[in-house]
Amino acid sequence: MTKKEKKGKMKKLSGLEKWQSERIDITQKRFRIGDYLAEKVIKGVAYLSIAIVFLIFVFVFRESFPIFNTSKPATETQVIAKQDSQETYGAVTDNGSAGQKQETYGAVSDSASKSNTQETYGAVTDQSAAPKETVQAGDSTNSKNKTSDTYTVSAGSGSDDNRSALKSMASKEWVPVSANPRYGLLALILGTIKITLISLLFAAPLSILAALYVSVFANKRMKELIKPTIELLAGFPSVVIGFFALMVLATFLQSVFHYETRLNSFVGGIAMGIAAIPIIFTITEDALTAVPKSFYEASLALGASKWQTAFFVILPAATPGIFAAILLGIGRVFGETMIALMATGNAAQMDLNPFASVRTLAATIGAEMAEVVFGDTHYNVLFLIGSLLFIFTFVINAVAEFYVKGKLMKRIQGK
């Protein structure tokens, strides 16, 4: 068809038919490389976040799992027999007889042959029959006979250590560095619960009332002043809040309540409550703001006052969101480390007195992880504590995010 024929055909069409023939189909999906790449990047970041959480979970549980292995032998011992050996333990030298072997282990020197001496380098003690070994600043001499040295190679946490560690976890004593180590978690769990309860009793009422004032009573200017100020507190590092509690808050509270121990669970709970206030306030204020305006107007139309509407209409309608805020505050306090290290006294004891020093699960990991031997029983127990913290905070955050908030949205939407 030529151009003239097309032009003539278009003239014959009506106005509507002409528009339909010239329109662009907006429902047709066009491929855009920029939109495709952006979608894939966002999806990849989402999957990466899930993978990181899963990998952390796997790593923590992998390091704590050996504590449950009770079938592994405690140690593996290798016996090496020697004759007329010369052993050097330090920078101080000692000359032995010709043909003797010289072994260097440390900072003191010993040059001798021993009379039926059994030496153990490891977890097994020296079982020599009649050792006659003298170590001095200069050189030391012993009787020269055949020597049998036993070198013990540790195989990690053995069955006996693991069994005793698992049994001691139900006790009240946390004494990991001892001839008879005890890994009692009851005192640590009680200390963590005490700190959490005290912080919630302090932070939850203040946060909820502040959020209620901002969302219902405050004017626009006050709202723009109060809300950013409280949310700014969330940016304070934990170590700064802990330092403030250590140097200022502990002294002030002791002068007010006149208790004996300066650093205790009460001081730590107040300091952790300060750290939890921004989280509880922000989520509670969002929940109160999400309540439909019709609830407020209907209550006032029925003759209720402003404060009656706030406490008996708005607040109950936002209960699921407030509960979610409290749960997230619990998760924040339960896993806090620096404030607990600096303000609680770090004494693992079973005491319900709020003015007694305590130690939390997170503070135990922060205080002792840098000093343990890799793969030791103490090392595995600390990772087991980390696993407990991870499970608790993960469950709390999941319940608050997926169940409670979902229930709030259903209530607001009337479903």
CATH code for the domain in which residue 283 is found: 1.10.3720.10
* Same domain assignment for residues 199 and 330: yes
Sheet of 75-82: strands edge to edge?
75-82, 147-154, 118-121
The answer to whether position 297 is within a domain reads yes
Q: What is the mean pLDDT of residues 219-244?
A: 91
* Same domain assignment for residues 191 and 261: yes
* Same domain assignment for residues 219 and 326: yes
Burial of 314 (0-12, 13-18, 19+ CB in 10 A): buried
**CA-to-CA distance for 283 and 326, rounded, in angstroms?**
9
Instruction: Answer whether 323's CB lies under 8 Å from 344's CB.
Output: no
What's the domain range around 258? 182-413
* Same domain assignment for residues 142 and 210: no
* Same domain assignment for residues 131 and 210: no
Determine what percent of the chain is predicted with pLDDT higher than 90: 40
Tally: H helices and E strands in the chain: 17, 7
Instruction: Answer whether 363's CB lies under 8 Å from 341's CB.
Output: yes
The answer to whether position 150 is within a domain reads yes
Confidence check: pLDDT of 305 > 60: yes
The answer to whether position 320 is within a domain reads yes
Query: Residue 234: which pLDDT band, with cuts at 50, 70 and 90?
Result: confident
Q: How many domains does the chain have?
A: 2
Tokens at residue 250, please? 């502990």
Give the number of other Cβ atoms within 10 Å of residue 61's Cβ.
15
Selection from 401, 372, 400 nearest residue 386 by Cα? 372
* Same domain assignment for residues 148 and 209: no
* Same domain assignment for residues 262 and 190: yes
Note the pTM of the prediction, 2 decimals. Answer: 0.69
Query: pLDDT per residue over 395-408, tens digit each?
Result: 888 887 777 766 66
The answer to whether position 367 is within a domain reads yes
Residue 192's pLDDT is 94
The answer to whether position 93 is within a domain reads yes
**CA-to-CA distance for 387 and 70, rounded, in angstroms?**
19
* Same domain assignment for residues 340 and 251: yes
Confidence check: pLDDT of 10 > 90: no
**CA-to-CA distance for 163 and 54, rounded, in angstroms?**
29
Query: Residue 67: which pLDDT band, with cuts at 50, 70 and 90?
Result: confident
Confidence check: pLDDT of 242 > 90: yes
**CA-to-CA distance for 185 and 391, rounded, in angstroms?**
16
Instruction: Answer whether 385's CB lies under 8 Å from 67's CB.
Output: no
Residue with tokens 């109160």: 288
DSSP lists the bridge partners of residue 118 as 148
The answer to whether position 334 is within a domain reads yes
* Same domain assignment for residues 193 and 82: no
Query: Residue 358: which pLDDT band, with cuts at 50, 70 and 90?
Result: very high
**Segments in 290-354 forming alpha helices (H):** 293-301, 306-309, 315-317, 319-334, 338-343
Confidence check: pLDDT of 361 > 90: yes
Residue 17's pLDDT is 58
Query: pLDDT per residue over 112-132, tens digit each?
Result: 444 444 444 444 444 444 444
